[in-house]
């Protein structure tokens, strides 16, 4: 039986983490909402690992996943009492860790078997959840996750009034948007899941402060670009959601794709995606994962074909990450880190650093709360809820933590805009960041990293030196006293 509830978006889930509160509380909250759909924004499992066997004599080594190990992690998740959610249709896409290698791209030799394994995972999720109920006309359920093609990209339409879902039939010779029945309501959401891993250009080496190194970089590859270009104009849904693993809107995070991944590192690909979405004339929202925190972001965009008096269009993105680990609870996905005697300190440093970064860095794409509120982000475990409001004129988005709603906002559905052909230029909603602001922000964050990293060593050395000094003074006093008495 299908649920008639909201859509849930989630990412960054390591099934090796103990299912104890607050992680189990988060899953219990998901179940209580009885969602119609469960959409993965990447990293459903962590197939690769980090080895410290030769540390500190050499850098920690990234060990890619093997098919056997990856399959065991999916089996572990599917055997969990919390997953899948009965009556909830699972779809979505993968990111680097369920692709099998950290920061994976098109040179990762395991990308295709990892993609097929993810599709199998979705199919098994729906079989267990009881949502594999047959496709259009009562036939077999269309292939999930874009099965039958290379890469994990697809579109699924959810009718929020009755919980029905309509998936793309990839057996058709050309990309064809799911056919909605005449009985479909005006509360439909099309979820376009994009694969930013299988065809991604590998990251360049080093830092790029000018944005010139990644000009030729791409995320989607020719076939996927062709697919989304043909599919978007066909959408008959009330609202479109574009979900992928990496953040699209942010600028000025870390100018090194191997340290912090996002679409801004390949600026031409980012501009192409935003122009494609804006020229479609359809209302849409971007959704991403990856960064182990939740953020609400917006930019304002103007078209090269617009008149000077035409108001800019606001484009928004919601990031939801992660289910089992977050910056507020230590960002590492490793269960072993929770067993370390230093975990309380690492957790405090992790949380403090990211709060400090949100204060010091000019991340002007992050929205602010009502009535002069602070930046809209959360460092706790989280997932995202989406549905129409009672009137149907807005889509609401809530970020949920273990204790309930953390933050949220509404996005106007509105009518369709005019279809365009121009190039769009987008700027953060709170304006451009100045070089001085960036310099100060980086200085503050790097200084904190140095102090927090070496601080315990300095403190330990100081305490040891103090104890040694006191011991020597005490020994000297005893010796002098012994000499006097003799």
| CATH class of the domain whose range is 7-433 | alpha beta
State how far the alpha carbon of 455 is from the alpha carbons of 343, 349, 353, in Å. Answer: 16, 11, 14
Place of tokens 């339409």: 157
DSSP result, 311-371: PPEEEEEEE---SS--GGG-S---HHHHHSTTHHHHHHHHHHHHHHHHHHS--TTB-B-TT
As a whole number, mean pLDDT of residues 136-140 equals: 39
> What is the per-residue pLDDT for 243?
99
Residue scoring higher pLDDT (138 or 316): 316
Residue scoring higher pLDDT (386 or 210): 386
> What is the per-residue pLDDT for 58?
58
State how far the alpha carbon of 174 is from the alpha carbons of 72, 135, 232, 429, in Å. Answer: 35, 18, 13, 38
> What is the per-residue pLDDT for 138?
36
* Res. 252 pLDDT band, cuts 50 70 90: confident
> What is the per-residue pLDDT for 415?
62
Question: Nearest to residue 250, comparing CAs of 47, 435, 122, 433?
Answer: 433
> What is the per-residue pLDDT for 476?
73
Question: Nearest to residue 365, comparing CAs of 333, 318, 325?
Answer: 318
Residue scoring higher pLDDT (421 or 88): 88
DSSP-assigned beta bridge partners for residue 377: 295
Burial (CB < 10 A; 0-12, 13-18, 19+), residue 126, is buried
Sign, Cα dihedral of 15, 16, 20, 23: negative
DSSP-assigned beta bridge partners for residue 41: 93
pLDDT above 90 coverage of the chain, percent: 75
Bridge pairing between strands 294-303 and 424-428: antiparallel
DSSP result, 409-449: EEEE--PPPPP--S-EEEEETT-PPPHHHHHHHHHHHHHHH
Q: Is the peptide bond before 64 cis (omega within 30 degrees of 0)?
A: no
Angle between the N-to-C axes of helices 267-279 and 221-231, in degrees from 0 to 180, rounded to the nearest 10: 20
> What is the per-residue pLDDT for 481?
72
- Checking if the pLDDT of 137 tops 50, the result is no
Residue 9 near residue 286, CB atoms below 8 Å: no
As a whole number, mean pLDDT of residues 463-477 equals: 76
Span of 46-60, 62-76, 200-214, 217-231 with lowest mean pLDDT: 46-60
The arrangement of strands across the sheet holding 7-10 comes to 89-93, 37-41, 7-10, 383-388, 394-401, 404-412
State how far the alpha carbon of 404 is from the alpha carbons of 26, 41, 479, in Å. Answer: 8, 21, 65
Place of tokens 């899941």: 193
As a whole number, mean pLDDT of residues 466-471 equals: 78
> What is the per-residue pLDDT for 54?
60
Instruction: Determine the Cα–Cα distance for residues 179 and 235; give it in Å rounded to an integer.
Output: 10
- Every domain of the chain and the residues it spans: 7-433, 437-486
> What is the per-residue pLDDT for 56?
54
As a whole number, mean pLDDT of residues 346-361 equals: 96
Residue 116 near residue 49, CB atoms below 8 Å: no
Span of 191-200, 396-405, 462-471 with lowest mean pLDDT: 462-471
Instruction: Determine the Cα–Cα distance for residues 251 and 210; give it in Å rounded to an integer.
Output: 12
- Checking if the pLDDT of 472 tops 90, the result is no
> What is the per-residue pLDDT for 307?
78
As a whole number, mean pLDDT of residues 243-257 equals: 94
* Res. 414 pLDDT band, cuts 50 70 90: confident
* Res. 363 pLDDT band, cuts 50 70 90: very high
Bridge pairing between strands 313-319 and 284-288: parallel
Instruction: Determine the Cα–Cα distance for residues 167 and 182; give it in Å rounded to an integer.
Output: 16
Residue 350 near residue 326, CB atoms below 8 Å: no
- Checking if the pLDDT of 443 tops 80, the result is yes
Tokens coding 71? 């399959």
* pLDDT 10s digits, 167-188: 998 888 899 999 999 999 999 9
Sign, Cα dihedral of 94, 99, 102, 105: negative
Question: Nearest to residue 400, comparing CAs of 481, 321, 316?
Answer: 321
Question: Nearest to residue 247, comparing CAs of 314, 315, 333?
Answer: 315
> What is the per-residue pLDDT for 177?
96
> What is the per-residue pLDDT for 142?
55
Span of 171-180, 390-399, 450-459 with lowest mean pLDDT: 450-459
* Res. 416 pLDDT band, cuts 50 70 90: low
If one counts every other C-beta atom within 10 angstroms of the C-beta of residue 374, the result is 10
Q: Which H or E element spans position 24?
A: helix 23-33
- Checking if the pLDDT of 311 tops 50, the result is yes
Question: Nearest to residue 233, comparing CAs of 285, 190, 186, 195?
Answer: 190
* Res. 53 pLDDT band, cuts 50 70 90: low
Residue 318 near residue 242, CB atoms below 8 Å: no
* pLDDT 10s digits, 279-300: 999 999 999 999 999 999 999 9
Mean confidence (pLDDT) of the chain: 91
> What is the per-residue pLDDT for 211?
81
């Amino acid at each position: 039986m299908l649920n008639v509830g909201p859509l849930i978006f989630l990412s960054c889930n390591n099934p090796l983490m103990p299912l104890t509160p607050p992680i189990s509380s988060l899953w219990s909250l998901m179940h209580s909402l009885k969602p119609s759909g469960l959409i993965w924004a990447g990293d459903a499992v962590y197939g690769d690992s980090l080895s410290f066997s030769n540390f500190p004599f050499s850098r920690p080594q990234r060990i890619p996943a093997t098919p056997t190990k990856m399959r065991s992690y999916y089996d572990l998740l599917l055997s969990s009492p919390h997953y899948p959610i009965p009556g909830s249709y699972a779809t979505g896409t993968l990111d680097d860790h369920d692709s099998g290698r950290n920061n994976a791209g098109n040179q990762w030799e395991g990308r295709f078997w990892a993609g097929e394994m993810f599709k199998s995972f979705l199919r098994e999720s729906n079989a267990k959840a009881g949502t594999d109920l047959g496709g259009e006309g009562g036939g077999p359920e269309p292939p999930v996750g874009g099965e039958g093609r290379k890469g994990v990209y697809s579109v699924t339409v959810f009718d929020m009034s009755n919980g029905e879902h309509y998936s793309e039939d990839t057996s058709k010779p050309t990309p064809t948007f799911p056919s909605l029945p005449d009985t479909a309501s005006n509360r439909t959401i099309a979820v376009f899941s994009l694969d930013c891993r299988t065809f991604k250009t590998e990251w360049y080496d080093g830092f790029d402060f000018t944005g010139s190194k990644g000009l030729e970089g791409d995320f989607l590859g020719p076939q996927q670009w062709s697919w989304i270009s043909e599919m978007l104009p066909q959408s008959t849904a009330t609202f479109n959601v574009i979900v992928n693993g990496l953040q699209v809107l942010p600028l000025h995070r870390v100018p090194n794709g191997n340290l912090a991944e996002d679409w801004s590192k390949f600026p031409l690909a980012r501009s192409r995606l935003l122009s494609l979405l804006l020229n479609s004339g359809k209302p849409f929202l971007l959704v991403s994962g990856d960064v182990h925190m939740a953020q609400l972001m917006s930019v304002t965009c103007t078209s090269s074909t617009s008149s000077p008096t035409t108001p800019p269009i606001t484009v928004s993105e919601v990031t939801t990450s992660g289910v089992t680990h977050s910056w507020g609870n230590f960002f590492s996905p490793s269960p072993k880190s929770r067993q370390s005697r230093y975990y309380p300190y690492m957790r405090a440093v992790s949380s403090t650093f990211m709060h400090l970064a949100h204060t010091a860095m000019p991340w002007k794409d992050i929205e602010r709360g009502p009535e002069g509120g602070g930046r809209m982000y959360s460092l706790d475990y989280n997932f995202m809820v989406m549905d129409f409001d009672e009137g149907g004129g807005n889509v609401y988005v809530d970020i949920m933590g273990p204790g309930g709603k953390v933050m949220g906002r509404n996005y106007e559905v509105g009518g369709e805009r005019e279809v365009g052909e121009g190039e769009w230029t987008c700027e953060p909603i709170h304006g451009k960041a100045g070089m001085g602001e960036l310099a100060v922000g980086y200085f503050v964050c790097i200084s904190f990293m140095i102090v927090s990293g070496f601080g315990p060593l300095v403190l330990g050395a100081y305490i040891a030196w103090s104890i040694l000094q006191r011991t020597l003074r005490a020994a000297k006093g005893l010796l002098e006293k012994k000499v006097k008495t003799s």
